[in-house]
């Protein structure tokens, strides 16, 4: 059949085409992404409409076929999508459903929100993002057919192909490879998804056929969640049968199945709202945890199974537990926390589920004494293990603390003040300079940590390897704010961490190694402007005036000229080759005294390029490094990471 000629496009047609064009312009807005995950969302949209029809009690077999031409079809045995002409748009209902961006909810009378992960943006999105979308409706004894192509353009208006005794809907679509990075359907992804749906939809049968490989999946669970738990625990040692309860309270349907396994120390709780997984839990899960904890504790107390007053904690009771919590919530009560709809927010669900599981579990425990006693015993063992583990951890921490204290005590010269913001830590190159700094410093708020030898290059080693290096372990424990992702700059014992090395190439290399360490393991210290490099002077210009020594320090050639002019004729210039050549008085006033020192703050101009630069500088690729150095370093300028502050 030819496409409709232009003048017959109605306003409704135009609006519809604009709607679907919008989907093609910004597909990710409708299906989250255009990678494999987004591709499979097209499948879930169609399957969910077939599921909704089964939920309404029409048909209980859904067949999904992956075809060789890259298309996929879904068949249900429902009533068949209506084909009667829709008054205002003068279009058959089925054409409207595949052309209009409506959530499924608007069209179907279902009480519960669509089961689609995207909450039913509807089949029209699948149509809009497909090369073709071919629909056959078996209804009223007729085989009705229509076809869209190229992103939802109607190419075959509704026609009758013949008669039939069947009823249901068949949708076949081929995703558009101009939209998707992959149009390769994955059998396992589809099979796993529909198997989960089968567990949630008692008695609905899902068949998945892959014509490319002849793979086949066939899922139907008449006991629903009970079989889901049994399936999850198939390789474990159950302590008892799968326990399941279902009921309704205040319009909310609750369906729970659970099972305990011996020698299983984890907990697996999966929750759903209207057959959509709530990955981040929410009010139904909180209610479940409260209710089951109370039920087991009350049973244990009433039967004198717990000694004394120590209550079993929730985690003790959930050790070895696998549970599925599935709620059906009417649209008007459905609330989520956050944007992703992965966490249920409906407030009533806490009390409803808590009372539900409390009452049912209490009844079950009283009816199954042997299991109940073994469960409480298992919980008491878990409690003892937890208490023992915590004691062991505290002991380990205190011994480690003692060990660290020992290391620190023989290395760190601490500041006397506890005003962490004002305190300054000088990380000094070499023991001798460390000694001079220790003598020269202001002992109230300046701490000295001398480093032995060159630190490791941390740009190419693991956290564990880094920690083995005593120098870094000492720095981490001295600063006291953790490291890596646990680093919290607000816990730092120092407002300034100052790297103080000789002003020679060795010193520069140590600076780079330390800056790399801080960049890799305490980046916020740099970002908050707490990392500095001390700038010991290169020269001292002096002369005797009336038996008094007058002098100036100079940090580079320009400074030197200025100092010579200030001191005037008869000056003497001494060159400092390293920190060790200064006495404590000179080191204090030239490099450590905030009133006269020069500090350079380590800053990260642009995180991405900094990361690149650090890895080039510290990486193993010397060619790339040499090229970077030639391009980026003017040898007469101070290090590119720093600008000068007091």
Site string for ligand 28F, 357-386 (x = CB under 6 A): ------------------------------
Q: Which is nearer to ligand 28F, 44 or 221 (CB)?
A: 44
- With CA atoms as reference, report the closest residue to 215 among 91, 358, 66: 66
Q: Which is nearer to ligand 28F, 91 or 433 (CB)?
A: 91
429 is catalytic: yes
Among 44, 53, 92, 127, binds ligand 28F (CB under 6 A): 53
Residues between 54 and 83 that touch ligand 28F (CB under 6 A): 74, 76, 78-79, 81-82
**Rounded CA separation 364/371 (Å):** 10
Shortest CB 269 distance to ligand 28F, Å: 32
- With CA atoms as reference, report the closest residue to 324 among 233, 428, 458, 222: 233
Give the C-alpha distances (Å, rounded to integers) separating 228 from 282, 371, 389, 440: 21, 21, 33, 72
Decide the pairing of beta strands 268-273 and 243-249: unpaired
Shortest CB 55 distance to ligand 28F, Å: 11
Residue whose entry in the numeric block shows the structure tokens 């992703």: 340
Q: Could you tell me the end-to-end alpha-carbon distance of the chain, in angstroms, rounded to an integer?
A: 82
214 in Cβ contact with 187 (< 8 Å): no
639 is catalytic: no
47 in Cβ contact with 74 (< 8 Å): yes
Q: Which is nearer to ligand 28F, 79 or 277 (CB)?
A: 79
- With CA atoms as reference, report the closest residue to 348 among 332, 362, 359, 324: 332
Site string for ligand 28F, 123-162 (x = CB under 6 A): ----------------------------------------
| Helices and strands: H and E segment counts in the chain | 21, 25
Among 98, 107, 518, 521, binds ligand 28F (CB under 6 A): 107
Residues between 81 and 100 that touch ligand 28F (CB under 6 A): 81-82, 93, 97
Q: Which is nearer to ligand 28F, 98 or 272 (CB)?
A: 98
506 is catalytic: yes
State phi, psi for 139 to the nearest 5 degrees: -160, 145
Q: Which is nearer to ligand 28F, 19 or 580 (CB)?
A: 19
Q: Which residue is nearest to ligand 28F (CB)?
A: 49
Residues between 29 and 48 that touch ligand 28F (CB under 6 A): 46
Residue whose entry in the numeric block shows the structure tokens 């023992």: 388
Shortest CB 92 distance to ligand 28F, Å: 10
Cβ-count burial of 67 within 10 angstroms (0-12 exposed, 13-18 middle, 19+ buried)? middle
Shortest CB 358 distance to ligand 28F, Å: 40
Give the C-alpha distances (Å, rounded to integers) separating 426 from 441, 456, 529, 561: 10, 19, 15, 30
Shortest CB 41 distance to ligand 28F, Å: 15
Instruction: Please give the structure tokens belonging to residue 585.
Output: 């008085």
Shortest CB 12 distance to ligand 28F, Å: 16
Q: Which is nearer to ligand 28F, 171 or 618 (CB)?
A: 171
105 binds ligand 28F (CB under 6 A): no
Instruction: Give exposure, 373-412, as e/b (b: 16+ Cβ within 10 Å).
Output: eebbebbbebbeeeeeeeeeeeeeeeeeeeebeeebeebb
Segment (H or E) for 188 = helix 187-200
Among 31, 43, 49, 553, binds ligand 28F (CB under 6 A): 49
559 is catalytic: no
Q: Which of 429, 459, 471, 613 is catalytic?
A: 429
Q: Which is nearer to ligand 28F, 117 or 450 (CB)?
A: 117
Among 34, 99, 130, 169, binds ligand 28F (CB under 6 A): 169
Q: Which residues are known to be catalytic?
A: 429, 502, 504, 506
Please give the residue ranges that form the binding site for ligand 28F (CB under 6 A).
46, 49-50, 53, 74, 76, 78-79, 81-82, 93, 97, 107-108, 169, 171
């Amino acid at each position: 059949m030819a496409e409709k000629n232009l003048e017959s496009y109605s306003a409704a047609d135009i609006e519809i085409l604009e709607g679907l064009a919008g989907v093609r312009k910004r597909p990710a807005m409708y299906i989250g992404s255009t990678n494999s995950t987004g591709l499979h969302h097209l499948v879930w949209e169609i399957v969910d409409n077939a599921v909704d029809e089964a939920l309404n009690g029409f048909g209980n077999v859904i067949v999904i076929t992956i075809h060789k031409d890259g298309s996929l079809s879904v068949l249900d045995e429902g009533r068949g999508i209506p084909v009667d002409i829709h008054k205002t748009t003068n279009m058959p209902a089925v054409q409207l459903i595949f052309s209009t961006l409506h959530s499924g909810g608007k069209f179907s009378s279902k009480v519960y929100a669509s089961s689609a992960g995207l909450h039913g943006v509807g089949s029209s999105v699948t149509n809009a993002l497909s090369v073709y979308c071919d629909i056959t409706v078996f209804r009223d004894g007729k085989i009705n057919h229509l076809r869209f192509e190229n992103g939802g353009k109607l190419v075959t208006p509704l026609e009758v192909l013949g008669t039939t005794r069947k009823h249901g809907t068949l949708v076949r679509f081929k995703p558009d490879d101009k939209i998707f990075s992959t149009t390769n359907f994955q059998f396992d992804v589809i099979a796993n998804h529909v198997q989960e749906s089968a567990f949630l939809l008692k008695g609905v049968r899902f068949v998945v056929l892959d014509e490319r490989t002849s793979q086949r999946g066939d899922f139907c669970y008449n006991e629903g969640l009970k079989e889901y738990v049994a399936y999850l625990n198939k390789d474990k040692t159950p302590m008892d049968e799968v326990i399941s309860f279902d009921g309704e309270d205040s319009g909310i349907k609750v369906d729970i199945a659970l099972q305990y396994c011996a020698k299983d120390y984890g907990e697996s709780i999966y929750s759903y709202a209207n057959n959509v997984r709530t990955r981040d839990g929410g009010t139904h899960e909180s209610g479940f945890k409260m209710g089951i904890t109370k039920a087991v504790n009350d049973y244990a107390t009433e039967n004198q199974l717990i000694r004394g007053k120590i209550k079993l904690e929730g985690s003790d009771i959930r050790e070895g537990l696998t549970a599925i919590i599935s709620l059906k919530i009417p649209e008007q009560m459905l609330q989520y926390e956050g944007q992703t709809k992965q966490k249920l927010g409906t407030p009533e669900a806490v009390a409803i589920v808590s009372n539900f599981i409390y009452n049912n579990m209490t009844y079950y425990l009283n009816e199954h004494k042997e299991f109940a006693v073994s469960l409480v015993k298992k919980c008491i063992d878990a409690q003892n293990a937890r208490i023992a583990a915590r004691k062991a951890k505290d002991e380990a921490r205190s011994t480690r603390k003692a060990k660290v204290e020992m290391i620190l005590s023989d290395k760190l010269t601490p500041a006397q003040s506890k005003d962490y913001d004002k305190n300054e830590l000088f990380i000094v190159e070499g023991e001798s300079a460390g000694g001079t700094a220790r003598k020269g410093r202001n002992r109230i708020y300046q701490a000295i940590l001398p480093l032995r030898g060159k630190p490791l290059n941390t740009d190419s080693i693991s956290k564990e390897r880094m920690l083995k290096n005593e120098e870094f372990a000492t720095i981490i424990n001295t600063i006291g704010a953790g490291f890596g992702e646990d680093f919290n700059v607000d816990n730092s014992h120092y407002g300034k961490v100052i790297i103080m090395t000789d002003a020679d190439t060795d010193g520069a290399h140590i600076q780079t190694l330390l800056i790399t360490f801080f960049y890799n393991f305490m980046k916020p210290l740099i970002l908050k402007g707490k990392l500095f490099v001390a700038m010991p002077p290169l020269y001292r210009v002096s002369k005797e005036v009336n038996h008094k020594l007058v002098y100036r320090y100079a940090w580079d050639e320009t400074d030197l000229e200025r100092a010579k002019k200030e001191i005037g004729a008869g000056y003497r210039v001494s060159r400092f080759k390293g920190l060790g050549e200064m006495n404590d008085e000179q080191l204090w006033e030239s490099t450590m005294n905030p009133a006269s020192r020069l500090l350079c703050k380590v800053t990260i101009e642009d995180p991405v390029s900094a990361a690149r630069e650090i890895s080039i500088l510290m990486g193993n690729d010397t060619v790339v490094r040499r090229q970077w150095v030639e391009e980026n370093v003017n040898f007469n300028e101070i290090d590119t990471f720093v600008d000068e502050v007091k």
